[in-house]
Amino acid sequence: MLNIALQSIKYYLENNKIPSKNEIDIKDTALLSKTWSLFVTIYKNWNIVWSSWNIKETLKNDNSPNSIVDELILNSIFALQDERFEKISLNDLDKIKIRIDVISKKLLNKDNSSIKNQILNLNPAKSWIIVIKNDYTKLSVILPNISPTLVNWQDLINTLSNKLDEEFIEENYITYEVNSHILTNY
């Protein structure tokens, strides 16, 4: 998967367009039939310089899910287009490192139990939390081990409120627990 991301970035920088699957050398063809959400983070000089992700798999024109290869290509390119960060050139390719988080997720408020209680029972070293306001006007992501001040999940609930700039009221948010399998070339 790392090779697909790197090939996508190189192709985009050389041709100024998003490559198709046919323009990428895909060694693990099983990836063409799998669907997962991904978080692609690109580092340069050990600093995060770009990232892109989807909590939900993207869809093709026929509403069927894109394959993980499609997600890798798109998220790798979208990460390059993150305007918060400097642009890279082909000369930078040997300086970048890539991290891919393959995301498995669980909608927390699906079973009608208290989201805050579920958050308090999560493992803060392994789980992410993503909250999306019901009207889609706010979103916050808390990554695992993001800060030494997040000792427990009560700290996380307080951090969510701070990041959202309002009290985290569980009924007002769609809340996901996210676990990831990490692939990296560093």
Domains of the chain: 2-103 (3.30.700.20), 105-179 (3.30.1490)
Q: Which residue(s) pair with 43 in the sheet?
A: 48, 97
Residue 18: closest CA among 97, 60, 74, 87: 74
Which pLDDT does position 105 carry in this prediction? 66
pLDDT value at 165 more than 80:
yes
Which pLDDT value is given to residue 43? Answer: 84
Looking at residue 74, its pLDDT comes to 87
C-alpha distances in angstroms, 88 versus 14, 49, 76, 78? Answer: 12, 9, 13, 13
pLDDT in tens, 71-108: 889 888 887 777 777 778 889 888 888 888 877 666 66
Cut 0.85: pTM above it: no
Residue type, 138: K
> Which band of pLDDT confidence, cut at 50, 70 and 90, is reported for residue 58?
low
* Cβ within 8 Å of residue 141, ≥6 positions away: 128, 129, 130
**Cβ-count burial of 130 within 10 angstroms (0-12 exposed, 13-18 middle, 19+ buried)?**
buried
Long-range contacts of 61-65 (CB under 8 A, 24+ apart): 65/35
